[in-house]
A and B are shown apart, each in its own frame.
Chain A
Amino acid sequence: MKKNILIISLLTAVVLGSFTFAFASLLPQRDHVQFSETVLYGDPKAAEGLTLNYKNRFNGHLFWDTTWTIGTPAESAVTDYQFFARDYVESEIPDAGIEMKSISSHFDNLDGALEKAYEELTETAKPNEKNIRQISIADYYKYYPVSASIDLPGWHSFTIWSNGLSVDESFQDFFRIPVLPDDTMEVQVWVNGSGEISSRRASYGTDTLYSMDTESAFTDDTCYFTFTTRSRTGQYVDTSLIPGGFGIYALPYSQDDIQLNRISMVYPLDPKVQIVAMEVNSDDTSLFFFTYEEDGYYFTEIELDTMKTLQRLRINDPHILYGSMLHVADDYFAVCCIDYQGVTGYRIFSRGEDGKFKFDFLIPSPSDKEREFFNFYSEATFAYDGERAALTGTAVSTSHWSTAFTVAVYDETGMLYCGEYNTGQNCRESSHGQYDCVPVANELAYLSWQ
């Protein structure tokens, strides 16, 4: 009897022990994300105190949010781990604010002004073919048929539409911009085998003069936005019919309500000023924006409570300022420019003791030698502690689908250090063509100085 019980106990122990061992050896690995460091240039001590925050995910199931400070043991990395049994689709694209267009492609929902153009196109179209024509906008519209897409916390164009509000109508009522006399647009119809329209649309054409570009930034309760007024041929559209004139506009909203009928102009701008980028600071007290004016680029900070100008700063002689390669924090900003001598680099400005921003130094574009291991990257992240600036870049040694990235540290003397960091999780392509372990929103690590 004892022997029998012993055998049964042994079998039970083998089964339970195996599963316990598997749990004990595999599950603790789930949040065991660590960075390996490869020095590519300089002394890693220059990066000590720089914290990496890296967010990546395994398809829609495993999500890692790892924080580690360079110069500390690899084991000191802290990972916030989440598991979702079912595919969890995280919205990786941050809210974009407001985007306006001078020509809406949704004419079917508007006043039917283009019906005649569509009819003419259909009459000359051959079955199962697309018929395209450039038409004069002024023949059909007095004002640009402005449209807008809204993407704010809790509010998107579709949810607004489903609440019975028309974004396009509200924006067209407010933004009455007379059509430039020679401006054109493209209309097209697809005709099926029986000669009926299967689809139709209108869009910017190759000869369209005025295509509206929008810049926006938002706080918890207001979205600030403005648009470009200059046409491709250097003409400026007439903004005098817009209530309050041209400037920065505000759209109030909350989680429960979006007040399309309360759009207002809150900060006047010269209509010849072209906005390049716009940001709100972290505590929603200041609005930063960059403009291109007759004599160059300017940075402006305005106080949101009063809409008063706090600072207007000329950025010295950049020929081109890349609005997409701009890093703005409360106490500094860095912007990638090409100056008139053809030198590309990040210009770093920081807030002085008087609260005003001042130019600190330029990070020059990497030299040919430096480019072997580091280059500027449009999706790079940035951190600045007043002396040292850190930038991320894509790893040169591996493919794009990798958990490896580079970090370069600069001061006013140039590059101090460059290293490659890798979690080693390697990104594999699944049967659905997706890569696992990739960073969330394709962002490299977020940087901050301790």
Chain B
Amino acid sequence: MKQYVSVFMVMLQSIWKKLIAILAVLAVTEAALFILASRQNLWIEDIIDAGRLSWFFSAALLALTVVLSTSLSGNTRQSYTLQRLALSGRTVFCLQTLVNLTALLLLWAVQLMTALLLCKIYLSRQLASADHSLDFCQQSVFLAFYRNNFLHNLFPMESLTRWMRNLTLFAALATLTAKGTCQPQTGKKIPLMPLIAAAAVILSFQHEIGTYYMIYMDVAFTLIPIIWILSVWLNLPKEGPYVEQEPAAASELEVME
């Protein structure tokens, strides 16, 4: 157990600075744009669109995908440490997937909190305002999470199929980025599959609330990530070490140590 926790932390250390930077930039930028858009006296759901929150979430997701896919590639201190551990490739892959999933869930959570808090602050100001040109009520934030596609996909309330879709998409993205990290690579080349999975998340976050057609889209966007996850897991070597780094590069690191 102690060993797993240590490995988890080593993996986390390789991304945490970049992760914090992405989350901070996302929250601060979105807050600024939301405040700017809210000067126009709009409905909550319209401010979310006017503030381009979905664009910044997409950019943050793509940036994080790149960070996760390349976190242990190259000759870093962390990758060298992992090579020296007596852990199977499968175990390392599982832990890397868990770290990546944690990072992705953090992004999701920070985005949700940023949007929700901004909406709640805006509503409380509108309810206290003397200007009643637009109707607002205690339900306005709740309704905004149904009216705005991005908000609804970010937090699908009681739509269970959409929760399933989101969770499988994030799990697939974590798996595919972990695969990119744990496979032998040359330089900092970003594998294609994690980017496709990130694009699937971005695309699915534009889906409308469950019309008849959209229910099938939810099912499709749930099944495809499951296939991705299974294909990665079925192709993992059962035994063997973590990453087979190029000998020259590894020896260089030892000298540096």
Contacts and interface: CB of A to CB of B under 8 A. Distances in A.
Given A5-B5, A11-B102, A428 B43 contact: yes
A14 B12 contact: no
A437 B137 contact: no
B2 interface: yes
B43 A426 contact: yes
Contacts of A86: 210-212, 215
A265 B150 CA distance: 61
A37 to B, nearest CB: 13
Contacts of A375: none
Interface stretch (A26-34, A165-173, A190-198, A278-286): A26-34
A290 to B, nearest CB: 40
A110 interface: no
Looking at chain B, what size class is its interface with the partner chain?
Answer: 35 or more
A18 B142 contact: no
B18 interface: no
Nearest to B107: A15
Contact of B6 (A4, A19, A21, A32): A4
Contact of A26 (B102, B108, B142, B208): B142
Contacts of B8: 4, 8
A77 to B, nearest CB: 11
B227 interface: no
Interface stretch (A56-64, A174-182, A294-302, A320-328): A56-64
Nearest to A17: B109
Nearest to A403: B135
Q: Pick the most buried of A34, A62, A83, A436: most chain B CB atoms within 10 A of its CB.
A: A62
A448 interface: no
Contact of B155 (A22, A422, A426, A428): A22
A4 B8 CA distance: 9
Interface in B112-150: 112-113, 116, 120, 134-143, 145-147
Interface in B182-229: 208-212, 215
Contact of A19 (B109, B143, B212): B109
Contacts of B36: none
A15 B106 contact: yes
Contacts of A426: 43, 134-137, 140
A431 B148 CA distance: 11
Contact of A61 (B136, B142, B210): B210
B75 interface: no
A226 to B, nearest CB: 42
B46 to A, nearest CB: 9
B9 interface: yes
A85 B141 contact: no
B158 interface: yes
B105 A58 contact: no
Contacts of B110: 18
Interface residues of A, number: 43
Interface in B6-48: 6, 8-9, 12, 43, 45
B157 interface: yes
Contacts of B88: none
B161 interface: yes
A424 B136 contact: yes
A122 to B, nearest CB: 41
A7 B139 CA distance: 36
A134 interface: no
A361 to B, nearest CB: 36
Contacts of B134: 426
A239 interface: no
A198 B128 CA distance: 63
B251 interface: no
A131 interface: no
A421 to B, nearest CB: 12
Given A1-B2, A423-B137, A27 B105 contact: no
Interface in A9-51: 11-12, 14-15, 18-19, 21-22, 25-27, 29-30, 32-34, 36
B138 A58 contact: no
Q: Pick the most buried of A14, A18, A34, A423: most chain B CB atoms within 10 A of its CB.
A: A18
A25 B8 CA distance: 33
Interface of A: 1, 4-5, 7-8, 11-12, 14-15, 18-19, 21-22, 25-27, 29-30, 32-34, 36, 58-59, 61-62, 83, 85-87, 398, 402-404, 422-426, 428, 431, 436-437
Given A19-B155, A26-B157, A83-B158, 7 more contacts: A4-B6, A26-B145, A30-B139, A85-B215, A86-B210, A426-B134, A426-B135
22 contacts: A1-B5, A5-B5, A8-B5, A11-B106, A14-B106, A18-B109, A18-B113, A21-B113, A22-B155, A25-B141, A32-B139, A33-B139, A85-B159, A85-B161, A85-B215, A86-B211, A86-B215, A423-B137, A424-B139, A425-B135, A426-B137, A436-B143
8 smallest CB-CB distances across A and B, nearest first, come from A424-B137, A18-B109, A29-B142, A426-B135, A424-B135, A4-B9, A15-B105, A83-B158
